[in-house]
């Protein structure tokens, strides 16, 4: 447990890319069931990182996507089970989201969801 906590702290510490103009870690160190999701503050966005672990086994999937500031117009989710994905799409002004896939059969440990620009 201590190791997991230490790893989580390290993960949160190294998330921010260098020389960025704005960034926000909008979720970190939580356990999510299938379908859980979170969104960031609105801003100009050029990346969205999602880092996660299968701490109870299986290969849970997580996704990322961007929406405009109204939340009405979103692009499609990008899914993976590799444990670290980055959404390289961008939006002039909007919000980033991360989500545990609704079809997951295992809980997922979300190290962080972090977005920004620069």
Partner 1 sequence: MDRRVTDRRTRLLVGAAALAAGALLAVHLAGHGSAGRQPPPGVSAGVSALDRLPPAATVPASVVRFVDTVAPQRNTDPHKALAQIRLLRSDLGRAHSDLYAFRSTAGAPCFILVGQVGSCAKSSSYGSPGLHWTIGGGTPSVPSNLVGIASDDVRSVELAIDGVSVPVSLVNNAVFAEYTAPGDNAVITIDRKDGTHSTVQVRLEHSEAATQDLQTFRKLLLERARSQGQAQP
Kind plus residue range of the DSSP H or E element containing 6: helix 2-13
3-state secondary structure 39-92: ECCCEEECEEEEEEECCCCCCCCEEEEEEECCCCCECCCEEECCCEEEECCCEE
CB of 2 vs partner 1, minimal distance in Å = 19
Binding residues (CB under 8 A) for partner 1: these are 11, 14-15, 17-18, 35, 37-39, 47, 49, 51, 53, 59, 61, 63, 67, 71-72, 74-89, 95, 97, 99, 101-103
Kind plus residue range of the DSSP H or E element containing 9: helix 2-13
CB of 75 vs partner 1, minimal distance in Å = 6
For partner 1, the closer CB: 44 or 75: 75
Closest residue by Cα to residue 113 from 95, 94, 97: 97
CB of 19 vs partner 1, minimal distance in Å = 8
How big is the chain, counted in residues?
118
Token code pair at residue 86: 């980055």
């Amino acid at each position: 447990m201590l190791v997991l906590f230490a790893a989580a702290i390290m993960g949160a510490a190294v998330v921010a890319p260098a020389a960025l103009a704005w960034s926000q870690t909008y979720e970190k160190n939580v356990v999510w069931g299938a379908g859980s999701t979170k969104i960031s503050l609105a801003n100009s966005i050029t990346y969205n990182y999602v880092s996660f672990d299968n701490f109870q086994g299986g290969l849970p999937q997580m996704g990322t996507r961007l929406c405009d500031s109204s939340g009405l117009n979103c692009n499609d989710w990008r899914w993976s089970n590799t444990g670290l994905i980055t959404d390289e799409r961008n939006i002039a002004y909007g919000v980033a989201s991360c989500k545990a896939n609704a079809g997951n059969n295992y809980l997922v440990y979300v190290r962080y969801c972090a977005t920004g620009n620069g």
